[in-house]
């Protein structure tokens, strides 16, 4: 089972908003007429948590979402365990939970770091660099990546000396060009 934090936020926002709204429109006036000044505890909590939950929902769904790097596959750019914030509006806005696009802003480009869920196991998140665009033919051999038959340009580099260098003692850091963008590999 996949834990969907967006669904939890939407459900909590709906529940706290409904409790607060129903109390405001149906029950608050009766309490005032009877002279009862205190709101029920549930209503008090709903009124307190509703704006916080909505703010978190809007931030995570439409602006930025945090992710933890799951593996070393993006070294030296991203190290396993690092946290990144994903810009959710760079390519357009999507509704939380439904994932329906509501506003198209831009398209991914070669070299962009993208976050996506494994189609067969949505609980697994992949964070990878985009090599090809729709319609491109990608070929991978033991030593190079070809995009539409053209090898990516890789400039050899020095021995890797960054984080986790003891785990990769003979690794070299090079520079790869994907279109106009250059990236450390």
Catalytic center residues: 73, 128
Using alpha carbons, select from 78, 81, 75, 84 the residue that is nearest to residue 165: 75
- Return the number of other C-beta atoms located less than 10 Å from residue 96's C-beta: 19
Length of the chain: 185
Non-local CB neighbours of 78 within 8 Å, separated by 6+ positions: 69, 84, 113, 127
- For 71-83, letters b (16+ CB in 10 Å) and e give eeebbbebeeeee
């Amino acid at each position: 089972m996949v834990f969907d934090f967006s669904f939890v936020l939407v459900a909590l926002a709906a529940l706290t908003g409904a409790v607060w709204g129903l109390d405001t429109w149906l029950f608050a006036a009766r309490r005032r007429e009877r002279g009862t000044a205190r709101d029920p505890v549930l209503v008090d909590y709903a009124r307190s948590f509703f704006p916080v939950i909505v703010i978190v929902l809007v931030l995570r769904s439409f602006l930025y979402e945090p992710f933890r790097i799951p593996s070393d596959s993006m070294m030296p750019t991203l190290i396993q365990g690092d946290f990144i914030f994903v810009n959710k509006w760079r390519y357009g806005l999507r509704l939380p939970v439904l994932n329906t696009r509501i506003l198209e802003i831009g398209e991914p480009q070669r070299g962009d770091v993208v976050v996506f869920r494994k189609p067969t196991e949505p609980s697994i998140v992949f964070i990878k660099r985009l090599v090809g665009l729709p319609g491109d033919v990608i070929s991978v051999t033991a030593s190079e990546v070809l995009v539409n038959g053209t090898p990516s340009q890789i400039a050899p580099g020095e021995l890797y000396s960054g984080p986790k260098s003891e785990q990769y003692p003979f690794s070299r850091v090079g520079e790869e060009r994907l279109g106009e963008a250059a990236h450390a590999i």
